[in-house]
Amino acid sequence: MSDDQAPCGSTAAAAIPVTDWVPLPPARPSWRIETACGGDLHRHLALLWARLERAGRGAGRLRRLLRRLPGAHSTLLAAIFEDGSRFLFPCYDRYWGKRLLCGAVYEPALYALLWRLRHLPFRFLDCGANFGYWSALVSGPGLGNHPVLAVEAAPEVLPLLERTRAANAGRFAIRACAVVGRERRSVTFTASGGHWGRHVLGSKAWAAEPEAVVEVEACTLDSLVRDFARPGVPLLVKLDVEGMEAEIIRHTPFAALGEVALLFEDHGGEHAFAATTAALARGLRVFRLEPAGLCRIHDAAALAEAERPIEAGYALFALPAVPGSFDRALARS
């Protein structure tokens, strides 16, 4: 989508708010795995450990062996999707390997929602982009060719995010910073453990004390939105910022920023669904994102599942208080 497309919603008829239950289509991506750079031997071994992972035996030992092989750290695999979008990740990466190498759809409910919204000309702010999975797909033709800004804080992740960007002809932009709600120059970020667990120090009550930390530049969501948004064009913000969601929602003046919808994660336990509570207090309409559809949440306590581990997140989608373009898009069959 180009920046000069017609703005959404300013002259259209008033939107009817979506109901408490919005079904989503059974849309699923398909992909194949190829070697992006490095040796095919590493790809074959990665696919073998994925088969062992599915079988439930011996996968961890083979993956650790693969990581120690000469050339492993320079070998990247590419998940190539049906629309040509490419997502790159290390051949020994446990997080992405357990999903993409094993044929598991990553966040299927979110994919179904984005597929439902693909014809709406929105801009996408990918906060906590990691290696750029959603940045690659949302900026691609399968999900609508939307303008995307990928925001990532972890210094060791940024080169791989750039590789994914380059593999997709540079069609999305990158900003290196940690997204926060209250303005400050920097935050202390964890620098040990897997890339999937990096977070602002102290933002995860269940996380162990890190062995290493690093100071990273901080930027408020307010400033990012004001720089990236365009008048009259709806903005979809994905907040995967590992514990900072509640602060960001509490301190961002959404009503002054135009039509902004949020995708975010929340946790129970000691976090007490603080992000959902903050979103409801700001007047946002919050929905739990489920495989079959969107379920309206009127009280954060309704999210609680006693058997759910504290570190397991709940996926949420928040619409502006005033119905608009997103409501119209969701109402279409």
pLDDT in tens, the chain (333 residues): 333 333 333 334 578 899 999 999 999 999 999 999 998 999 999 999 999 988 888 888 999 999 999 999 999 999 999 999 999 999 999 999 999 999 999 999 999 999 999 999 999 999 999 999 999 999 999 999 999 999 999 888 999 999 999 999 999 999 999 999 999 999 887 765 665 566 666 665 555 556 677 888 999 999 999 999 999 999 999 999 878 999 999 999 999 999 999 999 998 887 889 999 999 999 999 999 998 999 999 999 999 987 877 777 899 999 999 999 999 999 985
Assigned domain for 16 exists: no
What does the pLDDT read at residue 269? 81
> What's the rounded Cα separation, in Å, for the pair 10 and 134?
28
Residue 91 and residue 37 share a domain: yes
Residue 125 and residue 93 share a domain: no
* Structural domain boundaries, residue 227: 107-331
Residue 248 and residue 301 share a domain: yes
How far is the first Cα of the chain from the last one, in angstroms, to the nearest whole number? Answer: 22
Q: Exposure of 95 by Cβ count < 10 A (0-12 exposed, 13-18 middle, 19+ buried)?
A: middle
Assigned domain for 121 exists: yes
Residue 151 and residue 297 share a domain: yes
Assigned domain for 4 exists: no
Residue 118 and residue 99 share a domain: no
Residue 305 and residue 178 share a domain: yes
What does the pLDDT read at residue 242? 74
Residue 60 and residue 70 share a domain: yes
Residue 223 and residue 96 share a domain: no
Residue after which a domain boundary falls, among 50, 73, 105 = 105
Amino acid at 164: T
Alpha-carbon dihedral angle through residues 244, 20, 15, 258, given to the nearest 10 degrees: -10
Amino acid at 173: A
Assigned domain for 8 exists: no
Assigned domain for 232 exists: yes
Assigned domain for 139 exists: yes
Residue 320 and residue 201 share a domain: yes
| CA atoms 148, 151, 157, 158: torsion sign | positive
> Secondary structure of 92-122 in the HEC alphabet?
CCHHHHHHHHCCCCCCHHHHHHHHHCCCCCC
Residue 86 and residue 112 share a domain: no
**Any idea what the CATH number is for the domain that residue 113 is in?**
3.40.50.150
Tokens of 271: 């976090």
| CA atoms 294, 99, 59, 212: torsion sign | negative
Assigned domain for 327 exists: yes
What does the pLDDT read at residue 2? 37
Residue after which a domain boundary falls, among 105, 139, 168 = 105
Q: Exposure of 193 by Cβ count < 10 A (0-12 exposed, 13-18 middle, 19+ buried)?
A: middle
For helices 40-55 and 59-68, the axis angle rounded to 10 degrees is 160
> What's the rounded Cα separation, in Å, for the pair 114 and 26?
12
What does the pLDDT read at residue 215? 87
Q: Helix, strand, or coil here: 221?
A: helix
What does the pLDDT read at residue 240? 93
Q: Report the number of distinct structural domains present in the chain.
A: 2
Give the rounded distance of the alpha carbon of 190 from its chain centre.
Answer: 19
Assigned domain for 135 exists: yes
Residue after which a domain boundary falls, among 48, 70, 105 = 105
Residue 158 and residue 58 share a domain: no
Tokens of 175: 């900003």
Give the rounded distance of the alpha carbon of 55 from its chain centre.
Answer: 28
What does the pLDDT read at residue 191? 64
Residue 82 and residue 111 share a domain: no
* Residues listed for the chain: 333
HSE of 326 in the Cβ direction (CA atoms, 13 Å)?
26
What does the pLDDT read at residue 176? 96
| CA atoms 81, 87, 92, 95: torsion sign | negative
Residue of 102, 165, 326 whose CA lies nearest to 233: 326
Residue of 289, 314, 284 whose CA lies nearest to 117: 289
